[in-house]
Amino acid sequence: MSPDALPWILDRQETPIGTLLVVTDSALRLRAIDWQDRIDRLHRLFRRQYPRTVHLVQGRSPTATREALSAYFAGHVESIDTLAIATGGTTFQRRVWSALRAIPAGRTVSYQALAAAIGHPRAVRAVGAANGANPIGIVVPCHRVVGTDGSLTGYGGGLDRKRWLLSHEGVAATP
Catalytic residues: 142
CA atoms within 13 A on the CB side of 99: 24
Sort strands 56-58 and 8-15 into parallel, antiparallel or unpaired. parallel
Closest among 156, 163, 22, 171 to 105, alpha carbons compared: 171
Quick check: 162 and 153 in contact, CB under 8 A?
no
CA atoms within 13 A on the CB side of 159: 9
Quick count: other Cβ atoms within 10 Å of Cβ 55? 10
Quick check: 165 and 153 in contact, CB under 8 A?
no
Give the sign of the dihedral formed by CA 56, CA 59, CA 64, CA 65.
positive
What residue type is assigned to position 89 of the chain?
A: G
